[in-house]
Amino acid sequence: MKTIINILLFGVFVLFPYAGNAQMISVSGVVKNYVSESAIENASIYEAFSGIGTISNSNGYYHLLLKPGNQQLNISSPGFEKYSQEFRLTGDTIISVQLIPMNFGERETVADRDSDNLTDVQTAVKIQSEKENF
């Protein structure tokens, strides 16, 4: 009888605490700037269904503990386009994201004498000085 009680106590105090922790799964990653590839500090990482969220550290790293199942991860930072991804969480997962600056796709007009030095995001406007016209 004493042996049975010891086995039950062992199960209650040793095995059950681990069973409760096994239900949480790690989601982590790094948030970077798409253009410069530098880390984005204080980016907001939020799981929409559970309401669990965090912010990225100075290296862009974040870490969440979530329950298994369907998830919707939203990542945002001021001045960048929002990122959202739905997925089914079944095991530890790494989701690293490069956020696109809000003005990245906009066309610019750049005055330059030599249009060969422009990037594909820019539109050239050739300027001739008054001396070249005479």
State how beta strands 69-76 and 44-47 pair.
antiparallel
Within a domain: 13: no
Taking the whole predicted model, whether its pTM rises above 0.85 is answered as: no
d(CA 26, CA 95): 11
Residues 94 and 129 in one domain: no
Range of the domain at 90: 24-99
d(CA 89, CA 71): 7
For the stretch 85-129, pLDDT in tens is 999 999 999 999 999 999 876 655 455 555 555 444 433 333 333
**Whether the predicted pLDDT of 48 surpasses 60:** yes
Residue 90 sits in a domain whose CATH number is 2.60.40.1120
Counting the structural domains of the chain, the total is 2
Residues 123 and 63 in one domain: no
Residues 91 and 117 in one domain: no
pLDDT on residue 120: 42
Within a domain: 108: yes
16 vs 75, more confident: 75
Within a domain: 5: no
For the stretch 6-45, pLDDT in tens is 555 555 555 555 555 558 999 999 999 999 999 999 999 9
Residues 116 and 93 in one domain: no
State how beta strands 53-55 and 61-66 pair.
unpaired
Report CA-CA distances (Å) from 128 to 112, 116, 119, 125.
Answer: 9, 15, 20, 10
The answer to whether residues 68 and 25 touch, using CB atoms and an 8 Å cutoff, is yes
Within a domain: 7: no
The answer to whether residues 73 and 54 touch, using CB atoms and an 8 Å cutoff, is no
pLDDT on residue 104: 77
pLDDT on residue 133: 42
Residues 73 and 48 in one domain: yes
